Structure 1
Amino acid sequence: MAEEPQHGVPIELRKVTKAFPGTGAPAVRELDLNIAAGEIVVLLGPSGCGKTTTMRMINRLIEPTSGDIMIGGENSRDIDPDRLRRHIGYVIQQAGLFPHMTVAANIAQVPKLLGWDKQRISDRVDELLTLVGLEPATFRDSYPRKLSGGQQQRVGVARALAADPPVLLMDEPFGALDPITRERLQDELLGLQDDLAKTIVFVTHDVDEALKLGDHIAVMQRPGHIVQYATPAEILTNPADDYVEQFLGGGSSMRLLRLTKVGDIDLDQVPYTTEDADAPGVLKEIERDGRGYALVLDGMRRPLRWVTQSDLEGRQGPVGEAGDPVGGTISHRMTLQDAMEALLNADNDNVPVVGRRRAYAGALSLSTLQSAIQSIKARERERRTRRNLA
C-alpha cells in the first residue's frame, strides 16, 4: 500500500545576496521572498536576472554570500548539505539522467542513499512510473537513450519525487521540448500538484508557462531582485511598472482569457450535501435556493452526483444514492478559455469546480464565466485609462 505523501513546507528568503568574485554587481541582491507551503512559485525573468542562482541557493548548490534561507522553519545553513539535498527534489532541463543506468536505477538513487530496502525501492519505482504516466513493465528496465524527450522529463520528475521530498526545484525543465509535449507535461505537473501539494520553485523565462503554472510569480530583474510578486491574475491586470508590462508583452482580453485561471474568479455556490444527510432537510434547502438541485459530495468533499427536487420528493431517511452521477468537473487550475470549451460540451448548465485533491470548490456556468470575462475586460480598460492619464 502506498504511503501518504509528504506535503510541502514553507520557504522564506531573508535579505539573501549572492556576489561572485570579480563580477561587480551581485547576481542576487538582498532578496526577500515568502513561499507558502504547497504552492508553485515561478521565478520569471530574462537571462542573467538571478533566477537559477536563487533556486540553487535553496538547496545549497550555491552558498549565499549573506542572508538566510528558512525551509520548514529551519535555517538551511544549519542543515548538512547532503541531507538537505536528499529532501529536496531537483529537476533540470533535459532531465539530466545517468545514461549508463536504467530508468529504475535512475529513480532509485536517493532512496538507496537513504538506506531503503530493495522491495521498498522497487515498489516506489513502480508507483512513481505509474504516477508520471509510464508503464513500469515497459520502462523500468529501459535506458534513457531509448526514451523520447518527454519521457525522459517524466523520469526526471519521478526521480525528483523518489524520496517524497516536501520541496521540488524545477529549473526550466520543459524548455527543450516541443510545444505539444511541453504543454502536456505542464498539465501533468498541475495534476500531480493537486494530489501531492509539494512546495515547488519553478524557473522559467517563458511568460505563458509562468502564468499557467504559478500560484504566485516573482518577476525578476537584473541585478537579482524581485520587481513584482503576485498571483498571475494580479500581474496580468495590474503590472507593477513598465518593466513588468513590457516583459509580459502587453495584456489583451484574449490573452487574459487564455491565461486567467478558474480559481482566480468568483464561483457559483450551489447547495451541496452528503449521502448520509437527511433527505427531507436537503429538499427544503433545494427549495429555499430555488435552483432545483444540489450537489452530493463524498467524505473527502469530492463531487459524486447531482440530486434534484424530484429525486427527493417523498423520500425519507438519508439521501443515499439518489440523483445522477456528475458528468465531469473543471479544475481550479483550468484557464477560462478551456473552461468555456468544457462548459459548451457539458451535459449540465453548472459544472462543479474542484481544487486540491479534487475537493469541491464551487460551480461554474456560462453566465458566471461571461460575467468574469466582462470584469476582466473592465479592469483592463480601467488600467489602460489610468496609464493614458499618467
Structure 2
Amino acid sequence: MSTPPAVSPEDFRPILELVRDFVRTKVVPREQEIADSDAIPDDLRKQVAEMGLFGYAIPQEWGGLGLDLTQDVELAMEFGYTSLSLRSMFGTNNGIAGQVLVNFGTEGQKAEWLERIASGEVVASFALTEPGAGSNPAGLRTRAVRDGDDWVIDGQKRFITNAPIADLFVVFARTRPADETGPGIAVFLVPAGTPGVEVGVKDRKMGQEGAWTADVVFSGVRVPGSALVGGDEAAGYRAAMTSLARGRVHIAALAVGTAQRALDESVAYAASATQGGTPIGDFQLVQAMIADQQTGVMAGRALVRDTARRYVSGEDRRIGPSAAKLYCTEMAGRVADLAVQIHGGTGYMREVPVERIYRDVRLLRLYEGTSEIQRLIIGGALIRNERTGR
C-alpha cells in the first residue's frame, strides 16, 4: 500500500496550472535568448525559486513541496515543453542529488543541506559519471581513503550537470574493491569550496544551451567523517541505483513533454505552410507523419503515468523505469526527426524551435543510463525473475 501524497490532487491542480502558464508564457518566448546566451536569465531563475521549483520533490518538513513521483512526472511533461536547460537548473536538486539525501542522509545531513537545496540557495550536483564509468557505476575509479576520522578523495568526474555553479557535490567514490559482499562504493557530501576541488571549463555541447556541465577533479580532497552519506559506506551503490531509477521516470516524462512540443510545432506549421498554394497539412504523407507523432506522444504519456504510479506503490522500481526511459526518449527522437521533416528546409534553420528540439532530445537517450543499458536492465531482470519464480 502506498501512502497518500503530501499534496492532495485538489491542491496539486493549481500548482500544475501555474507551472504550465509559467513555461508557456514566460519561458517559451525567451527560448532564443537562452540559446544565444547559453544561460538561464537571472529573473527566470528568481521566479523558479519563488515558485518552489528547486524543492518541489523535497519533503515538506525540509521546506519543499513534497510532491510524489506521480505528480513529479506531470510537472516534468510541462518542463519538457520548453528549453530543457530550464529544468536542468533545478532538476538535480529535486532528483538524483536531492533524493540521495532524502532517502539515505543522516538527520544531521538533512538538517544541514535540504532546506537550502529546496529553496535554491544551494545548487546540488550529482558527481557519478567518470571517463571510464557512466551508465554502469560499477566501473567507478574515484577513490576515498579513510585517514583518521576523515576521508580523502581522489579522482575525476565527467559531464557533471551544474558543476560550474554547484555549491555541493554529491560524490560517488570507491572505498574498497568490489567483492561478493558489494561494489564498495560510498557517497560523500563535498562543498564546492573544499580545497582540492577543481571544476573544469564549461563543456561545449551539441544542444541544451544553458544547461552547464563540466569535468570535476578531486585532488586530495579531505572531508570529515560526517560527510559520508548515511554514515554508512554500503549505502552508496544503493543510493545511486535508487536515485537513477527514479530519475529515469522523470526523464521519460521530460521526453514526452518535448515530443508534445515538437508535435504542436509540426501541426501548426502543416496547417499554415503551403506548397503550390495548398497547405502541406492537406497532403496525406504529412498527415501520416503527424499521426505517428501523435501516437508516440500518447503512448509515452500513458506509459510514464503508469510507471510513476507503480513506482510510488512499490510494485515496480526497476523494470518499469528503464522501460519508460527507453521508450519515451527513443520516441522523442523519432518525433523530433519527423518534426524537422515536416518543416522541410525551414526545420534545418537555427532559431526554428524544431531545430533546437532535434539537438536537445539527442542527449535524453544518453544520460541517466543509455538506451543500451536500459535494455540490459529490462532483459536481465525479466530473465532473473523467471528463474527465481517471481
Structure 1 length-normalised TM: 0.28
Q: Which has the higher strand share?
A: 1
When Rg is computed on C-alpha atoms for both structures, the one with the higher figure is 1
- Between Structure 1 and Structure 2, the one with more helix by share is 2
